[in-house]
Amino acid sequence: MEELHWFVLYTTARAEKKVAQRLEDQDIEVFLPIVEELRQWSDRKKKVQRPLFNGYLFVKTSKINLWKSLQTPGAVKFVNFNGEHATVRESEIEMIKRILDTGVAVETDNEDIAPGQQVKIIGGALEGMEGECVNKGNKDYFIIRVPGINQNLIVNIPRKFLLTNS
C-alpha cells in the first residue's frame, strides 16, 4: 500500500467548503483551515467563516489516488512545483491546526519574507512552536512557512514570549 501524504488541491473561486465536503463524502481525508472574522456591511456586522488560504485545501491521499480527488466538482488541479506534486508535512498541518485552535489573530501572505532569526515561543497559547521572527514596524511577528502553497502564516507574538535559538 502506498504511503499517504498531504497534497495541496486548488479549487474554483469560493468553492473550498463545498469541495471539502464532497471529498469527505467520498471518505477522503481533507483539511480546510477556517478562520472566523467580523465583516462590516452597511446595515450590520456579522461573524463569517472563511478559508485561511483562498482557493486551497489539503487532501491526505496517495499519489495513485489523486485522480479520484480531481473528479470532484470544484476541484481544479493539484499544485505542482518543478513537475512534482506539492506536499505539506504532517508537522506543518498540525502547526496550522494548533494555531487555529488557539484563536490568535492570524494572517497569510505569499510575499517572499527574508529569513529572520530562528526563535522558539516560550509562553502563551503557542508555547513550544519554533519558527522565524520578523520585525515589521514596531511589532514582532512569528512566521510559519508553508512551502507547499508558497504561503506564510503570520502571528503577532509579544517579544517576551520569544527565545532566540542560539
- Three cell numbers, residue 82: 518543478
pLDDT of res. 115: 65
pLDDT of res. 18: 98
Shared domain check, 9 and 81: yes
Q: How many domains does the chain have?
A: 2
- Three cell numbers, residue 8: 495541496
Shared domain check, 12 and 50: yes
For residue 73, pLDDT over 70 is answered with: yes
Shared domain check, 96 and 83: no
Confidence of residue 133 (pLDDT cuts 50, 70, 90): confident
pLDDT of res. 162: 82
- The model's pLDDT over 83-95, given as tens digits with 9 standing for 90+, comes to 899 999 999 999 9
Shared domain check, 83 and 110: no
Domain C-terminal end among 88, 113, 129: 88
Give percent of the chain with pLDDT exceeding 90: 52
Shared domain check, 116 and 81: no
For residue 74, pLDDT over 70 is answered with: yes
Cα–Cα distance measured from residue 65 to residue 136, given in angstroms and rounded to the nearest whole number? 42
Shared domain check, 101 and 72: no
Q: Provide the CATH number for the domain around residue 40.
A: 3.30.70.940
Asked if residue 50 lies in contact with residue 44, where contact means CB atoms within 8 angstroms, the answer is no
- 3-state SS, residue 69: helix
Shared domain check, 106 and 152: yes
* Domain assignment of residue 101, given as a range: 91-164
Asked if residue 143 lies in contact with residue 131, where contact means CB atoms within 8 angstroms, the answer is yes
Cα–Cα distance measured from residue 96 to residue 155, given in angstroms and rounded to the nearest whole number? 11
Other CB atoms within 10 Å distance of the CB of residue 19: 23
Shared domain check, 122 and 75: no
Shared domain check, 97 and 80: no
- The model's pLDDT over 10-65, given as tens digits with 9 standing for 90+, comes to 999 999 999 999 999 999 999 999 999 888 989 999 999 999 999 999 999 999 99
